[in-house]
Amino acid sequence: MTENTNRSSSSHIYLDFNATTPVSGEVVQRLPEALEAWGNPSSIHASGRKPKLLIREARQLIAQSLNCNSLELIFTSGGSESNTTVLRSFLENLRLEKEKSKESGSAAGLRDEFITSAVEHPSVMKTMLMIRSLGFQVHIVPVDCEGHLDLNFYAKVLSAKTALVSIMVANNETGTLFPIKQLTDMAHAVGAKFHTDAVQALGKLRVDLKELGVDYASFSGHKFYALKGCGLLYQKKGAPLNSLILGGGQERHRRGGTENILAIHALRVMFENISAVTENSMRIEKMRDSLESQILQRIQNVKVTAAQGPRLANTSSLIIAGADGETLLMSLDLQGFAVSTGAACSSGNPEPSPVLLAMGLSRSEAQNSLRISLGWSTSQEQVEAFVSALVTIVARLRSFETSDDTNFEREDLDVSNH
């Protein structure tokens, strides 16, 4: 396929592909195809037929790639909407069932419990906490220091009371991969439905929905070199679902609102090149391993988070002692490197990453985190340049810390002598 636009130059190197990806060069070249289809796909006249055809063709091609039926795919605005649609749908149905059980005086057989992991995306975690605040049981599966799920805990809380399990394919911060097929089989064994947030998997892993066996799966186009504002929700045939957005009859009455033709077409273009995922992932994994090896050799007191186990080929989560993550991030940005930190800091209110805290890291360790995520256009030369810059910046930040500690001790000494 056409080389992806990295939006990087010699003065700016982008290494934050888990946050978003640049738009593929081929997508840019082929956007005019969709721009010409400007009509409303719900219109029955000639202006609506072309965009409707583009949507149908995109849905069929994507379904073939994901190994599902095209009617099982719903176009949404992205991963957060897809996640929320499934969870709130179950909540809505459960509240109706609970009202009916009160009227009948029997709650026997009511499935009113949910299960998720401690390291989910906020769109899942915040919705689950909202569900819990309404009085429903939400079990949160803990993870160990490497980010692996406690499968014993998961098996223990699964029961005939479980309505829905929602656990991601891959964690966006650490890259940790979860055994979705095993988790799904266990959920189905007790009659529960299973949803997975597969946003970080798209473009990095081969995704076969029939093989995974899940009932629902969420995807987002902007993680796969397409446009923002378009995502997918897989709804297995027969799995219950209510529309989150009411309106017209779009997406077979499962998602109201005129479809985003341009972004849907962009996603279709990327799925035409899905075969490049495996080759790119193998190349990227070698660069990621080289990056980590060089950093560990050249910088002391660095830990690679979640390195002991399966993880995304492109993701490296680091804890760098003596280097505040936010300061490190800004220093790298000034040097022309775009990365991210696990500490989701807002102005005046720095808070460590809930994911890293859930893994047992202390607040100070979590605030010393840095996430590097490579992409299809990342080169070995860019990796080398980044490592060199990181070595210099960490040394400088640590020298400031040492200097501050020394000055503090001297000031204490001076005060005590008065």
Residue 412: both structure tokens together? 């204490």
Q: Is 145 a catalytic residue?
A: no
One-letter amino acid for residue 147 of the chain: G
Separation of alpha carbons 101 and 97, rounded Å: 6
One-letter amino acid for residue 177 of the chain: L
| DSSP letters spanning 332-347 | HHHTTEE-B-SS-EET
Tell me which of 68, 145, 230, 345 is the catalytic residue: 345
Say what the alpha-carbon torsion angle 104, 105, 110, 116 is, to the nearest 10 degrees. 120
One-letter amino acid for residue 251 of the chain: E
Residues in the chain: 418
Strand 13-14 with 337-338, pairing: parallel
Give the burial class of 94: count Cβ atoms within 10 A of its Cβ; 0-12 exposed, 13-18 middle, 19 or more buried.
buried
Separation of alpha carbons 339 and 331, rounded Å: 11
Supply φ then ψ for residue 219, to 5 degrees: -140, 160
Residue 355 host element (H or E): helix 354-358
Residues designated as active site: 345
